[in-house]
Chain A
């Protein structure tokens, strides 16, 4: 089909108009708003798809306001080599006429339906029809960004064409049913992420199995314990039988009795021997005493002789030391007198030095005070400036971010206003001289000229003669105006938050804020030069004030100490200090010499005293010892005492010999100490063995009793049956889990096999559309592919990545471009198979940028090579490069 001519009467603003210039390729009707492009589009739809007797909204909207004329539309088109004309009048005097090659072939209802038959459109429910391919390829105003979803007949037509080429997609519906059932099966066991659902049969049986396995392990452990207790009890009972054997017990008792008797005999003999040994020891003691008395006597005699010789030597040495001490004492007295004189001179020089130090501190303190005072003045001044600027900064609230937000909102409002304005009907009212003060708009008098867009009802009053209300189309720009209101509200809120009333005021505040921030930065730079931080400025000022106070106090102190002393010149000061230091140095040298001499002399005296003391002590001790020894052994009894001691010694030797002989005889018949110990240890060992046996028997009885209790309790619990039951239940749960897992694997494998086959079939089936889509898609998105659904609906765009982008996530412009491209591809598919239908785009590509729109023009031009393309647009400048045939409206 190719439209060749269109004329309309009583349609909208067109009393009688004709669209001129239709050609076979791209046709462009570019005209401003309110020219009636969309009315023309609606008229074409009505004449093709509406019965002539229709009275619905689609037809009524075509009626000219206030007109009594019928809505009459005449469309000429060529189709399959013939020229047709359909002419319909709606609403008044409704009729329809279809002509072929200049000859009328049908009227009224027959004409309506014959037209549909020619165009391949199935009759609908009487009032409208399924517009089949036209529904896909004719895009009304504001519909160009809607993704094409072919209607029932359109999809059927596309399916028929595709199946004629690649065959039908057999079993697709049943495959989807199988998939649905497998999904149902899988979803009862697994989550969407492929994990086992905890409340699924598999989850429950797995939990049951694991729980039973744990229980089996626990009961097995108890059974193993029971088994070991059986064995332990057997062992203990055998042990008890051995331990309680009477013959073993009797043997032990006899062995103990023999050992005890042997020990008793041995210990008696040992006691006798010990008594004889004691007597022998006593005799030996007496002998040793006699020998020692004689030796003591001889020693004492020799000591008296030696003490008398030593006494004489010591007396001579002490007399010599006394003479040397007196000479050294005289020399030390002379040295001490000279040292006292030197100390007097040293104190005088020290006083002079102290006075000079105080004078120096006083001069230095006064100099420092001046420097600190100057720095304090500078910092105080800087601090005052800084605080003032900070206070100013707090009053200036507008930030760069605020300003950016406000400007952005203002731009959006402007953009929306422009968009609404562009889409709206415009009015222009000029007041002639006689009409001055007669006409008002919304009760505001118009002086000379009023013009603008009709975006809300406008009420023009002509004095008290007439009221004219101009209203925009229903729902016109509702979303844009709502968006504007929302943005204005946001704009006002943002201004209030900044404390300003206008954007200009905000800009002024922001400029002032920048100036204050610059001044603060300058102050911070000054402080950096002074080595001060902004945050510690106050603290520094306080520190400097404290330093000045301290300096004043110090100066006062130094002034007090030197108040009688006039401040000398620096030369005088240095001369006095040099003289005092020279005197002090000379004095120090002399004092050191005298101190060294005095120390040496004192040391000499000390040495003499040190040497004399011991000799004096030794002499006293010798005299004391000698006196004591002479008391013990007077010179006159010495010889008689010696004879008596020698006689006592002889008697003691005889007694000792006798005791030794008796002890030796007894020792031969007595067991030695080790033997006694051995006999005692044996008795203890045998006694311990008897006690151990009794203890062991008691322990065995207790252990046996305990084990018997445990075994009886465990046996009574039916642990054997419990284990067998749990093992079987665990095995059943494991089998159930395996069975469910296998069923799950089967469902998953079946699902994968069916889905793969379905995907492949669908891919093959959609190949013709993809083939026609490819060149168009390549014009805008090189290398990209479109993912189509079962009913050819657009699902996603696949570009560089492995997965496709959902269509809804793309920008409005891209969505609109893809929607138009898919329509072009479907048109190409239909055209290739003889179903040539014009493509009509009414006000499309409104969201395309400059580059994209040029590429879209390339695609439209490509489509125009196959079939007629009719583009209706109000964007005369933007569409000026589309080329093609220019349509015009002739009234």
Chain B
């Protein structure tokens, strides 16, 4: 028995901060479904198990609701098993009833009840749909007593956080990490954790097929799972599915001279135009390097799909040369010296010191631009 394990599509997620590029990111999430369908076809897998959070919201618009269904309809030989998660719980007249009313393609199976479903002869799917955003009880507990014929393969499908493992997902729906053993499952397909992760011998989080945030899964993945019979350990293999990479890079500067090297290293990243980078600069930098970073930031922004530079923890510490660039003496040098004193004054608030640093940087940029213009 071979199938694809995926989760957390979160169709309809908005990316407003990307402005005009939002649609591209939303489209990529839909294209990931086609990638999954092609993967299943290539792997000769007849089932795709989606472990929750197909949609980002339980009240999407009609187009958002139907767009993934239409993508799945394009693969009639594959059965897609969709499980309600904490983003799209199954509630009366909710999103799943709307899907049913809209007309469900025959190759899509909605897992709306906690009861065994025979998806292949002697292969039973034990789904645990979420009926609300947050469940206090462990919704997979019923699997322990779920009866299936002797020798049948038992595959669990659930969405939540494994107890004791910590949680990165939004749901507080806890799942016993021993569920696979307690319910004699041959495989437990989990969703909610946006990273591909193995919890136990046959318990996996598949991660999302298309990442949607920085500081989490960098590349989209799905799992190709093969179960050889009840009681045998499954064989699990990761497969890339994502289009965009969401990466975070952090650099600790000493004097800002490292920025040249950092720019070069970032330029060397693969597929820059499909990379969303969160760049965090810490430590200290000279005024000249800080002023020069704006130009580098512009270049990188042009090269990348998106760049978010976080300089809040980067302290500007002017060198003598910086200050002399403003002036050797006189009015502007006096103003610069005072701004530097404020920036270093421990009795001032962090915010006030930061503003003083920025004012000093602004003075440097203004004066040097005036000098260039002259």
List residues of chain A with CB under 8 Å of any chain B CB. Answer: 169-172, 174-175, 177-178, 181, 223, 226, 230, 233-234, 237, 707-708, 711-712, 714-721, 723-725, 728-729, 731-732, 742, 745-747, 749-750, 753-754, 756-758, 760-761
Nearest CB in chain B: distance from A753 CB, A: 4
**Other-chain residue from B64, B329, B359 in contact with A170 (beta carbon distance below 8 A):** B329
Mark B9-30 against chain A: 1 for CB-CB distance below 8 A, else 0: 0001111110000000000000
Given contacts A178-B367, A721-B60, A761-B331, contact A230 B92 (CB under 8 A): yes
Residue-wise, chain B 48-62 has the 8 Å CB interface mask toward A (1 for contact) of: 000000011111111
Contact A757 B334 (CB under 8 A): yes
Task: Assess whether B94 is interfacial by the CB under 8 Å rule.
Answer: yes
List chain A residues, Cβ under 8 A from B166: none
Q: Which of B60, B333, B355 has the most CB of A within 10 A?
A: B60
Taking a contact as CB atoms under 8 Å apart, the answer to whether B331 and A170 are in contact is yes
Residue of A nearest to B333 (CB): A171
* Cβ contacts A to B, 10 pairs, < 8 Å: A170-B329, A170-B333, A171-B327, A171-B333, A174-B331, A174-B370, A715-B59, A745-B355, A754-B331, A754-B363
Other-chain residue from B59, B62, B362, B367 in contact with A720 (beta carbon distance below 8 A): B59
The CA of A749 and the CA of B356, in the complex, are separated in Å by: 7
Are A178 and B366 in contact, CB atoms less than 8 angstroms apart?
yes
Whether A750 pairs with B331 at a CB distance below 8 angstroms is: no
A754 to B366, CA, bound (A): 12
Determine the distance from Cα of A728 to Cα of B328 in the docked complex, in whole angstroms.
47
Complex CA distance for A707 and B91, rounded to whole angstroms: 12
Asked if A757 and B59 make an inter-chain contact with CB atoms under 8 angstroms apart, the answer reads: no
* Other-chain residue from A171, A230, A731 in contact with B332 (beta carbon distance below 8 A): A171
Other A-B pairs, 9, CB within 8 Å; known A714-B59, A749-B342, A757-B331 = A169-B330, A174-B331, A711-B92, A715-B59, A718-B61, A720-B12, A721-B60, A721-B61, A729-B16
Please count how many residues in chain B sit with their CB below 8 Å of the partner chain's CB atoms: 43
Interface membership of B339, Cβ < 8 A: yes
A246 to B96, CA, bound (A): 30
> Given known contacts A169-B331, A716-B62, is B366 in contact with A742 (CB within 8 Å)?
no
Q: Is the CB of A711 within 8 A of B332?
A: no
Q: Across the two chains, which residue of chain B brings its CB closest to A724? A: B14
B145 CB within 8 Å of chain A:
no
Q: Which of B77-100 contact A (CB under 8 A)?
A: 91-95, 98
Q: Of A172, A720, A731, A749, which contacts B60 at CB under 8 A?
A: A720
* Alpha-carbon distance A178/B56, docked complex (angstroms): 50
**Closest CB-CB distance, B9 to chain A, in whole Å?**
14
Interface presence of B335 (CB below 8 A)? yes
| Whole-angstrom distance between the Cβ of A375 and the nearest chain B Cβ | 91
Partner of A712, one of B57, B58, B98: B98
In the complex the two chains form, what is the Cα distance from A226 to B95 in whole Å? 12
Q: How far is the CB of B334 from chain A (nearest CB, A)?
A: 4
A178–B332 CA distance with the chains assembled, in angstroms: 9
**Residue contact A718 to B62, C-beta cutoff 8 Å:** yes
Q: Residue B338 at the A interface, CB < 8 A?
A: yes
From B14, B60, B93, B359, give the contact of A746 (CB < 8 A).
B359
Complexed CA–CA distance, A711 and B327 (Å): 68
Q: Is the CB of A746 within 8 A of B332?
A: no
The answer to whether B92 touches A746, judged by C-beta atoms less than 8 angstroms apart, is: no
Which residues of B does A touch, CB under 8 Å?
A: 12-17, 55-62, 64, 91-95, 98, 101, 327-335, 338-339, 342, 355-356, 358-359, 362-363, 366-367, 370
Cα–Cα, bound, A757→B338 (Å): 9
Contacts of B359 in A (CB 8 A): 746-747, 749-750, 753
Residue among B327, B335, B359 having the largest count of chain A Cβ atoms under 10 Å: B335
User: A717 and B331: CB pair below 8 A?
Assistant: no
CB distance from A151 to the nearest CB of B (A): 25
Q: Say yes or no: B339 contacts A753, CB within 8 Å.
A: yes
Q: Which residues of B contact A714 (CB under 8 A)?
A: 59
In the assembled complex, which residues on chain B have CB atoms less than 8 Å from the CB atom of A718? Answer: 12, 57, 59-62, 64
Q: What CA separation (Å) do A719 and B370 show in the bound complex?
A: 52
Point out the residues of chain A lying under 8 angstroms from B93, CB to CB.
230, 233, 707-708, 711-712, 715
Are B92 and A234 in contact (CB-based, < 8 A)? yes
Task: Say yes or no: B367 contacts A728, CB within 8 Å.
Answer: no
CB of B331 within 8 A of CB of A721, answer no
A742 to B14 CA separation, bound complex (whole angstroms): 27
Q: Determine the distance from Cα of A705 to Cα of B367 in the docked complex, in whole angstroms.
A: 71
**Chain A residues with CB under 8 A of B98:** 712, 715-716
Q: Is the CB of A711 within 8 A of B94?
A: yes
Complex-state Cα separation, A753 to B367, whole angstroms: 14
In the complex, which residues of chain B have a beta carbon less than 8 angstroms from the beta carbon of A723? Answer: 57
Given A728-B14, A750-B362, A174 and B56 contact (CB-CB distance below 8 Å): no
CB pair A742–B355 under 8 Å, yes or no, is yes
Complex: how many Å from CA A750 to CA B91?
58
Is B332 in contact with A757, judged by CB distance below 8 angstroms? yes
Question: Whole-angstrom distance between the alpha carbons of A717 and B59 in the complex?
Answer: 8
> B338 — nearest CB in chain A belongs to which residue?
A753
CB closest residue in chain A, given B339: A753
B14 near A725: Cβ-Cβ < 8 Å: yes
In the bound complex, do residue A175 and residue B339 qualify as a contact, i.e. CB atoms below 8 Å apart?
Answer: no
B126 to chain A, nearest CB (A): 24
A709 CB to closest chain B CB (Å) equals: 9
Q: Check if B12 sits within 8 Å of A761, measured CB to CB.
A: no
Out of B15, B61, B338, B363, name the residue touching A717 (CB < 8 Å). Answer: B61
- Chain B residues closer than 8 Å to A721, beta-carbon distance: 12, 14, 56-57, 59-61, 64
Interface centre among B328, B329, B331, B363 (most CB of A within 10 A): B331
CB distance from B65 to the nearest CB of A (A): 8
List B contacts of A731 (CB < 8 A). 17
Chain A residues within 8 Å of B101, by CB: 712
A760 CA / B338 CA spacing, docked (Å): 13
Contact pick for A757, options B16, B335, B342, CB 8 Å = B335
Nearest-CB residue, chain B, relative to A223:
B59
Inter-chain contact A237/B92, CB cutoff 8 Å? yes
CB distance from A714 to the nearest CB of B (A): 6
Contact of B95 among A171, A715, A757 (CB under 8 A): A715
B339 interface neighbour in A711, A749, A761, Cβ under 8 Å: A749
The 3 closest A-B pairs by CB, nearest first: A720-B57, A170-B330, A718-B61
Q: Hey, which chain B residues are within 8 Å of A719, CB to CB?
A: 57, 59
- Please pick, from A223, A724, A750, the residue contacting B13 in the complex, using a CB distance under 8 A: A724
Taking CB atoms, residues of chain B closer than 8 Å to A729 are 16
B294 to chain A minimum Cβ distance, whole angstroms, is 13
Contacting pair A746 B362 (CB below 8 A): yes
